[in-house]
């Protein structure tokens, strides 16, 4: 059935009208409104979170009352830095004292808008974000204020929470500190490598100079360190450091911080970087360590953090003189003895790159000892040696530079000791530019000088090289003093009726075991020669063992032991046996310096001391030395007359005796002293003085052994003493001692007034000659001596 056209069913309503369509603009508006709404909500949430977090931010006390960890610093008496101890090496410097060029170099690379922004550089953040999003090398946008916030209060983790806190802290810092204060804190706190915190410390460590004295080029080099102290460290990575420096100089020039002329000069300047950042201007490592230990005993853990400044009694000039004299004396000894051969051998690779790497790695294991440098032999022949240094410089050694090791250049030399390709040797330069083969010494030495008026230590060298051995031979080496102990036995005898004119027999003598504390003893003179009766003065001048032994045997070993304690010697280290007459006990160079000071100052006991004062970081004196002084009668330990007579005899030792080279070289009549050589030449000493300076020199092996059959205190220790005194006494006037009351003169000799000739001990083991014959003998020996 067909449906009629009129009866057809009507279409549904929605088909009756066309659908409505939203315009693109309306859709976009809706989306933007939604995003904006979400953004506003997000901002409100963030603002609310920040508002809640702001009151909980840490207090800024560590910034507003900035007190950084300050290291312990040790200075000479004339204010030269010789040591620094602490985790952080820092020198606090105020804003006004930071040179303008250093501030500009830092701002140029770290935060050019520092004085404009409020703590956060929003444009910088956007710029860095765009740069990072486009695949460029990752950039940061932290301002100096943000870096201060991070360094003091936050970790270095890269999270949104930490970034938000960093921004909040930056705002808070900006509200509480001025821009100059913020920059001052930053430039004192930032880590710059080599344990250096702050630019003042870095200037000293990298360039060895005060911050105020740095050049534009040096400032740019230092300014490159905060970003990556290891990567841009000029000691470790000189090429990368220079590239960074050049970029900073360009930035400073572009920003008009420096002129065209300054830029041109700075970019071509060759910087002198201190490769040894721990080195100081004076070789006083043993002094610095002694001072550190003494201060730690008083201040404990505060020693390394509160910025203590320790002022020692040494002076730079005296310390330099002592160091050079000791090194020269030791190396002179080495040259007189056998070359021991190379320290090691390596196989040098054939390719240059591999060879350079192998040589560099090996030489790093053989650090230099000041001017004694390690080198690896590239070619060797009896006529010459070519070697390479750690710096890569090739050197040629020939002629006299080979003489010390000539025997080990022969093809016939033992393969295990011959100088050949790959051998690690030691070289040094003489006064000119020529090189010499040498070796590191096995022998050790020590030197100390004190002022006998109060005991202040003027110079102290505890060994040949502190970096090789930190054992301080001045304070820690208990060694036999040998003949240098004899004057104390002689001094004791003056109190028992002897005089310098007492005749004593220089003849062989023997003792049973009971007298020596051990076994039977038949002592000998050093040269095994005996001269018969001589005066006590002559016996000391010629260091005759038989004379000293007879004196001690007469006065008693127990008395000699007790008497020596007046000078500071330990009784338990000097047993009361006759061997004490030859210095068979034990002492240290420091103890010996105090003992000889008694002769130098007229009879007063003083105690050597090293630290004059300790101050805090603000200069407040925390402790100060109060030394015992000569001239105070409470400190007198021997009669003034005794000191005068001993000084008179010890001056003869330095004029005519075993130390005659002293006065011959220095041309001074006010020098006294005594050489010392122990049994089997295991220790060599010289103890000498003037009225205002005592010096003690020692040489020997750590494991005692013979120094050489012909080696003596006069040949080993005395030259060190002379080398020091030549500089220390320059310009110091000669001082003659006045004769004290209570002495009477008969002929050329002085006597105690109560013991004139004919009384007291007139002779010892020389029979019983008549007074006339005794005087004749004295005249004869005096004529022979003088």
Active site residues: 110, 483
Helix (H) or strand (E) holding 188: helix 179-189
What DSSP designation does 206 have?
I
DSSP letter for each residue of 596-644:
HHHHHHTSB----B-EEEEE-TT--EEEE-----TT-GGGB-S-HHHHH
Answer yes or no: are the C-beta atoms of 452 and 601 closer than 8 Å: yes
Alpha helices per DSSP H over 425-533: 486-494, 513-516
- Pairing of β 693-700 and β 435-438: unpaired
Closest C-alpha among 586, 319, 294 to residue 462: 319
Answer yes or no: are the C-beta atoms of 546 and 538 closer than 8 Å: no
Q: What's the Rg (C-alpha) of the chain?
A: 39
Instruction: Kindly report the number of other CB atoms within 10 A of residue 428's CB atom.
Output: 17
Closest C-alpha among 441, 690, 658, 485 to residue 588: 485
d(CA 726, CA 680): 30
d(CA 51, CA 53): 5
d(CA 671, CA 702): 30
d(CA 397, CA 402): 7
What DSSP designation does 479 have?
B
Contacts of 396 (CB under 8 A, 6+ apart): 384, 385, 386, 435
- Pairing of β 72-75 and β 309-312: parallel
Alpha helices per DSSP H over 680-712: none
87 conformational bin, left if phi > 0, alpha if psi -120 to 50, beta if neither: alpha
3-state SS class at 693: strand
- Token digits for 371? 């001017």
d(CA 177, CA 64): 7
d(CA 109, CA 246): 11
Dihedral sign, CA of 524, 526, 529, 531?
Answer: negative
d(CA 351, CA 23): 77
Answer yes or no: are the C-beta atoms of 331 and 441 closer than 8 Å: yes
Answer yes or no: are the C-beta atoms of 423 and 340 closer than 8 Å: no
3-state SS class at 49: helix
Contacts of 619 (CB under 8 A, 6+ apart): 309
Answer yes or no: are the C-beta atoms of 197 and 88 closer than 8 Å: yes
Closest C-alpha among 381, 564, 400 to residue 488: 564
Closest C-alpha among 98, 105, 102 to residue 255: 105
- Token digits for 653? 């030792």
Q: What are phi and psi of 656, to 5 degrees?
A: -120, -15
d(CA 610, CA 528): 42
Answer yes or no: are the C-beta atoms of 40 and 48 closer than 8 Å: no
- Token digits for 755? 């013991």
């Amino acid at each position: 059935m067909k449906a009629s056209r009129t009866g057809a069913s009507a279409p549904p309503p929605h088909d009756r009208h066309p659908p409505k369509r939203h315009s693109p603009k309306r859709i976009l508006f809706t989306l933007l409104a939604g995003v904006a709404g979400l953004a506003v909500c997000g901002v409100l949430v963030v603002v609310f979170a920040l508002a809640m977090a702001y009151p909980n931010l840490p207090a800024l006390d560590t910034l507003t009352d900035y007190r950084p960890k300050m290291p312990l610093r040790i200075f000479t008496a004339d204010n030269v830095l010789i040591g620094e101890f602490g985790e952080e090496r820092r020198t606090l410097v105020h804003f006004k004292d930071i040179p303008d060029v250093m501030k500009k170099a830092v701002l140029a690379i770290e935060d050019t808008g520092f004085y404009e922004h409020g703590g956060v550089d929003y444009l910088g953040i956007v710029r860095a974000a765009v740069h990072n999003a486009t695949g460029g090398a990752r950039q940061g946008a932290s301002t100096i204020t943000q870096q201060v916030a991070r360094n003091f209060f936050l970790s270095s983790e890269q999270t949104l929470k930490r970034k938000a806190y960093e921004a909040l802290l930056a705002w808070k810092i900006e509200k509480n500190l001025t821009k100059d204060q913020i920059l001052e804190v930053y430039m004192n706190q930032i880590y710059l490598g080599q344990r250096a915190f702050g630019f003042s410390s870095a200037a000293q460590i990298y360039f060895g100079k005060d911050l105020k004295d740095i050049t534009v080029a040096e400032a740019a080099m230092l300014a490159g360190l905060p970003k990556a102290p290891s990567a841009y460290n000029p000691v470790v990575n000189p090429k990368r450091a220079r590239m960074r420096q050049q970029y900073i100089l360009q930035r400073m020039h572009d920003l008009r911080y420096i002129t065209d002329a300054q830029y041109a000069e700075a970019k071509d300047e060759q910087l002198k970087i201190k490769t040894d950042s721990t080195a100081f201007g004076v070789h006083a490592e043993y002094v610095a360590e002694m001072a550190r230990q003494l201060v730690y005993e008083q201040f404990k853990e505060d020693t390394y953090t509160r910025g203590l400044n320790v002022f020692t009694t040494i002076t730079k000039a005296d310390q330099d003189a002592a160091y050079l004299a000791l090194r020269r004396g030791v190396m002179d000894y080495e040259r007189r003895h056998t070359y021991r051969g190379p320290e090691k051998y390596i196989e040098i690779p054939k390719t240059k790159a591999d060879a350079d790497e192998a040589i560099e790695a090996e030489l790093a294991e053989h650090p230099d000892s000041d001017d004694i440098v390690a080198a690896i032999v590239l070619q060797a022949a009896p006529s010459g040696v070519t070697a390479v240094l750690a710096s890569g410089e090739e050197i040629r050694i020939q002629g006299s530079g080979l003489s010390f090791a000539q025997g080990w250049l022969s093809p016939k030399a033992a393969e295990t000791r011959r100088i050949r390709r790959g051998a690690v040797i030691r070289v040094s330069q003489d006064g000119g530019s020529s090189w010499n083969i040498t070796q590191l010494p096995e022998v050790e030495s020590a030197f100390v000088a004190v002022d006998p008026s109060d005991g202040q230590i003027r110079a102290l060298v505890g060994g040949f090289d502190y970096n090789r051995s930190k054992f301080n031979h001045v304070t820690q080496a208990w060694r036999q003093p040998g003949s240098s102990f004899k004057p104390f036995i002689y001094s004791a005898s003056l109190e028992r009726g002897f005089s310098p004119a007492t005749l004593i027999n220089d003849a062989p003598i023997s003792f049973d075991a009971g007298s020596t504390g051990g076994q039977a003893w038949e002592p000998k003179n050093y040269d095994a020669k005996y001269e018969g009766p001589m005066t006590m003065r002559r016996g000391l001048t010629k260091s005759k063992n038989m004379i000293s032994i007879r004196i001690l045997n007469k006065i008693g070993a127990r008395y000699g032991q007790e008497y020596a304690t007046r000078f500071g010697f330990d009784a338990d280290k000097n047993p009361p046996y006759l061997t004490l007459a030859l210095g068979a006990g034990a002492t240290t160079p420091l103890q010996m310096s105090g003992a000889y000071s008694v002769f130098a100052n007229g009879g007063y006991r003083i105690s050597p001391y090293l630290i004059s004062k300790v101050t805090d970081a603000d200069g407040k004196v925390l402790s100060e030395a109060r030394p015992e002084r000569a001239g105070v009668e409470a400190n007198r330990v021997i009669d003034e007359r005794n000191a005068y007579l001993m000084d008179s005899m010890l001056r003869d030792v330095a004029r005519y005796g075993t130390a005659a080279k002293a006065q011959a070289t220095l041309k001074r009549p006010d020098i006294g002293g005594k050489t010392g050589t122990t049994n089997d030449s295991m220790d060599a000493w010289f103890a000498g003085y003037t009225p205002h300076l005592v010096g003690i020199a020692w040489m020997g092996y750590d494991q005692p052994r013979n120094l050489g059959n012909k080696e003596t205190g006069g040949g080993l220790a005395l030259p060190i003493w002379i080398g020091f005194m030549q500089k220390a006494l320059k310009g110091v006037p000669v001082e003659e001692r006045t004769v004290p009351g209570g002495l009477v003169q008969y002929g050329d000799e002085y006597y105690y007034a109560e013991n004139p000739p004919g009384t007291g001990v007139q002779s010892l083991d020389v029979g019983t000659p008549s007074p006339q014959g005794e005087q004749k003998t004295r005249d004869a020996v005096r004529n022979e001596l003088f």
